[in-house]
């Protein structure tokens, strides 16, 4: 690992949002590089100081005092009749511009917009590492609790041969053990409006990440999206939340790859097809209906 790559990943390492093999490479590099180890320790100390800093609350009267000060300092504008404004060139130009914008808005409501602006800057030849699997080794099923909240359960259905597996939620190990036959793992509840990030590793090279929304959309949606300089995993997580569908990415994503995405209300299938084309991915559906992205 180069020093430039190490410094790019320091924040992600501290947040524990990178894959364990990559974290191990960073630790090995820090053990042998004095400057990178010092920079890592400095950032860790800064984060610790920020976490321990006491939050300062402004006085309750601050907002009212600011408004009063502004009101006293800004002189009142003279009253002008609206028909007098109509003869001023500046107002006439502004009025014409406003009418043009209004016409564009009314036209856009009648004209469907399905534009996608997508750009991907990849840090490596293979933005997502390839994992050889015949079928998704897990399935995700949802159920409602007595309180009406949505919960997810992960079910392994691997081959008859015993396989070591591990399940992480939000970077913390939830379950680990040997899978011989079908094994179920109940996942914790997901806060409303968020997605739950689940990492699953099995065997020596098998790895996948799933993003499970707290609310599953009953009807197809076409949200407006604007993402700037997001990683592959951040992009997939945002899509799972925006469209209300579970998404699975098989293989490790290159943390240096960055995605810019602007979508003006597009069906998920089309958006994923364009994203997969840029990242050299294959889009498929598992038996449970989960959308799966794998390297070609």
Give this prediction's pTM. 0.61
pLDDT of residue 238: 94
Which tens digit of pLDDT belongs to each residue from 111-122?
444 589 999 998
Where does the pLDDT of residue 89 fall: very low under 50, low under 70, confident under 90, or very high at 90 and above? low
- Rounded CA-CA distance 261/253 in Å is 17
pLDDT value at 107 more than 80? no
Please write down the long-range contacts of 214-223, taking CB distance under 8 Å and 24 or more positions apart: 214/150, 214/190, 215/150, 215/244, 216/142, 216/150, 216/244, 216/245, 216/246, 217/243, 217/244, 217/245, 220/267, 220/268, 221/268, 222/265, 222/266, 222/267, 223/263, 223/265
Whole-number percent of the chain with pLDDT over 70? 80
Where does the pLDDT of residue 215 fall: very low under 50, low under 70, confident under 90, or very high at 90 and above? confident
pLDDT of residue 258: 93
- Rounded CA-CA distance 181/152 in Å is 20
Q: Evaluate whether 209 touches 197 at the Cβ level (below 8 Å).
A: yes
- Rounded CA-CA distance 209/229 in Å is 20
pLDDT of residue 233: 94
| Mean pLDDT along residues 231-258 | 94
Whole-number percent of the chain with pLDDT over 90? 35
Which tens digit of pLDDT belongs to each residue from 140-180?
998 877 777 778 999 988 667 788 999 999 889 999 998 87
Average pLDDT, the chain: 82
The residues with which 196 forms a beta bridge, in sequence order, are: 212
| Mean pLDDT along residues 263-271 | 91
Where does the pLDDT of residue 98 fall: very low under 50, low under 70, confident under 90, or very high at 90 and above? low
- Rounded CA-CA distance 296/290 in Å is 18
- Rounded CA-CA distance 177/184 in Å is 12
Bigger pLDDT: 104 vs 258? 258
Strands lying side by side in the sheet with 138-144: 138-144, 150-156, 183-186
- Nearest one of 110, 112, 107, 111 to 270, comparing CA atoms: 112
Q: CA 248, 252, 254, 258: dihedral to nearest 10 degrees? A: 10
Q: Evaluate whether 258 touches 229 at the Cβ level (below 8 Å).
A: yes
């Amino acid at each position: 690992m180069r020093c430039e790559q190490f410094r790019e990943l320091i924040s992600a390492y501290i947040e524990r949002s990178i894959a364990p093999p990559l974290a191990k490479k960073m630790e090995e590099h820090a053990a042998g590089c004095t400057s990178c180890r010092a920079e890592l320790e400095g950032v860790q100390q800064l984060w610790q100081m920020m976490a321990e800093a006491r939050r300062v609350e402004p006085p309750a009267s601050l907002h009212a005092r600011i408004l009063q000060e502004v009101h006293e300092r800004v002189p009142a504008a003279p009253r002008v009749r609206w028909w007098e404004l109509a003869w001023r060139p500046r107002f006439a130009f502004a009025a014409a511009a406003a009418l043009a914008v209004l016409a564009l808005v009314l036209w856009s409501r009648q004209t469907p917009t399905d534009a996608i602006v997508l750009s991907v800057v990849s840090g490596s030849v293979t933005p997502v590492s390839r994992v050889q699997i015949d079928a998704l080794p897990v399935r995700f099923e949802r159920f409602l609790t007595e309180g009406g909240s949505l919960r997810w359960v992960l079910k392994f259905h691997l081959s008859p041969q015993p396989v070591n597996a591990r399940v992480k939620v939000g970077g913390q190990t939830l379950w680990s053990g040997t899978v011989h036959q079908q094994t179920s793992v109940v996942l914790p509840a997901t806060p409303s409006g968020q997605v739950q990030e689940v990492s699953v590793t099995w065997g020596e090279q098998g790895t996948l990440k799933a993003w499970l929304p707290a609310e599953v959309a009953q009807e197809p949606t076409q949200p407006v999206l604007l993402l700037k300089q997001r990683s592959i995993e951040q992009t997939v997580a945002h899509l799972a939340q925006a469209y209300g569908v579970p998404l699975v990415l098989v293989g490790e994503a290159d943390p240096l790859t960055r995605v810019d995405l602007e979508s003006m209300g597009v069906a998920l299938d089309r958006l994923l097809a364009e994203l997969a084309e840029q990242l050299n991915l294959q889009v498929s559906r598992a038996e449970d209906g989960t959308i799966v992205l794998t390297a070609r």
